[in-house]
Amino acid sequence: MLKSIIRKEILNNLLSYKFSIIIILSTILILVSIFVMYRDYCLALENYGVLQPKSNEAIAIIPPTPLSIFAKGLDENLCRSYEIGFGGQIRVGSKQESVNNLFRLFTTPDLLYVVKVILALCAMLFAFDMVSGEKEVGTLRQTLSNSMKRPILVIGKWIGGFTSFVVPFFIAVLLSTILVTMSPLVQMDGENWAKLGMFLFSSVLYLAVFFSLGLLISCLTHHSSSSLIISLFLWAMLVFFIPNLGNILARQLVQIPTVQQLEVKRSQIWIKEVFERINREKNYREVVGSINSENDKLIADYRNRFDRLVSVSQNITRFSPAAAFTCLATDLMGTGISEERRLKKAVLLYKDLVWNKQQDDLPTFNFHRSSIKEVFGFGGLANLMILILFNMLFFVSAYVAFLKYDVR
């Protein structure tokens, strides 16, 4: 019986206008997004080639990851160059995007964005009328008049509906991934493939959350028009409102100085020391020592506050699956907040190495993006669990609501 429900649901979807329009939209978007981001990755790679440090330069820089094609996250920030200069000061290179301010006005259209925003909406659109829509046309009453058990019906509907939604998504992603990875510029190793696999798995989990939520709303309403309205507004709240306002709220709870303030303090440190040096109050060694230690204090204070800000903001935004998914996906792809914190730590260690070097030879900067194991250790597992929990919560609620649903 379950099989025929699933079959009916899939066939019903395949023949609907909704299916064609959503599939056209998502396929175009996925292909365009991956192609655009692939070109962007090529530009970043070209830029990295130009910026490779010479043997006499104390510069820390890492290459862009091919996974940024799928989730760019903070890769533009991560791939800046960090030059160790006078008094151990770290001079940060500008981002390539910094000269075109339009990048700052709009969002990056990578696969992460397509899944997080657009496909989540599509998942809800697939599910919003699964129960209320059938009730309106009267088929639900007929189906249940047979010896059909409600649990089987709701599970069959979920499996059938979600399969017909997620399979075309997979085909589009696979197709574009194969096209992109055929390029000699995209060098994916085994670890990268595993990360991409995990990313796709978490995307499916995330989309399932929205699908189950759509089903839940459908089970709680009696008209598909009301179900649609509630679905759309919940989508807007979960995808935009909670994650984005949550971050500004976190900034109110953790006092963190602005970049402008830090820049003022940083320039004052070296100017003061140089001034005192010239006016013969300090010798050269003392001066550079002070610049280094003062900057270290400034950085240590900031990093502590920033770590607290990240944890507060993650705790606030955990009410939204979109925030958990963003963190998980970007961390997996090596372009997330945890990677940024790791890189900054590595740069600081490198600065200390350069600072304390005994010989003339400059140490080289080594940095490897986190492995899957490390990502799960840094809180990736918690985010994954949140997605699973949301799935269970919404599905169980939908199940219970359907058991009590008045089909008349």
Closest to another protein by CB, 152 vs 300, is 300
Q: Is the dihedral of CA 198, 203, 209, 212 positive or negative?
A: negative
User: CA-to-CA distance for 387 and 382, rounded, in angstroms?
Assistant: 9
Q: Which is nearer to another protein, 17 or 406 (CB)?
A: 17
Would you count residue 12 as binding another protein (CB under 8 A)?
no
Select 114 or 399, whichever has its Cβ closest to another protein.
114
Q: Of 159-167, 181-189, 225-233, 400-408, which part binds another protein (CB under 8 A)?
A: 225-233
Q: Is 27 in the site for another protein (CB under 8 A)?
A: no
Q: Is residue 171 a contact point for another protein (CB under 8 A)?
A: no
Shortest distance (Å) from residue 265 CB to another protein = 7
Q: Identify the CA nearest to 295 among candidates 365, 364, 355.
A: 355
96 binds another protein (CB under 8 A): yes
What part of residues 369-408 is at the interface with another protein (CB under 8 A)? Answer: none
Nearer to another protein (CB atom), residue 5 or residue 125 = 125
Cβ within 8 Å of residue 250, ≥6 positions away: 309, 312, 313, 316, 317
Residue 199 CB, shortest distance to another protein, in Å, is 15
SS (H, E, C) 48-115: HHHHCCCCCCCEECCCCCHHHHCCCCCHHHHCCCEEECHHHCEEECCCHHHHCCHHHHCCCCCHHHHH
Scan residues 226-245 and list those touching another protein (CB under 8 A).
226, 228-230, 232-233, 236-237, 240-241, 243-245
Which of these ranges, 30-38, 187-195, 359-367, 386-394, lies near another protein under the rule CB under 8 A? Answer: 30-38
| Exposed / middle / buried, residue 241 (Cβ in 10 Å: 0-12, 13-18, 19+) | middle
- The reply on whether position 103 binds another protein by CB under 8 A is yes
**Which CB atom, from 4 or from 268, has the smaller least distance to another protein?**
268
Is 127 a binding residue for another protein by CB under 8 A? The answer is no
Of 74-82, 190-198, 357-365, 370-378, which segment contacts another protein by CB under 8 A? 74-82
Separation between Cα atoms, residue 218 and residue 45, nearest integer Å: 47
**80 lines the binding site for another protein (CB under 8 A):** yes
Residues from 281 through 340 that contact another protein (CB under 8 A): 298-299, 302-303, 306, 309-310, 313, 317, 323, 326-327, 330, 336-337, 340
Residue 91: φ, ψ to 5°: -95, 120
Residue 36 binds another protein (CB under 8 A): yes
d(CA 289, CA 356): 11
Pick 12 or 247: Cβ nearer another protein = 247
User: Distance between CA atoms of 212 and 218, rounded to whole angstroms?
Assistant: 10
Spatial contact of 119 and 204, defined as CB atoms under 8 Å apart: no
The values of phi and psi at residue 282, to 5°, are -140, 155
Give 314 or 395: the residue with its C-beta nearer to another protein.
Answer: 314
Residue 55 in contact with another protein, rule: CB under 8 A: no
For residue 399 the two structure tokens come to 């199940």
Report in angstroms how near the CB of residue 189 gets to another protein at its nearest.
25
**Binding span for another protein by CB under 8 A among 6-14, 183-191, 222-230, 390-398:** 222-230
Report the SS3 class of residue 263: helix
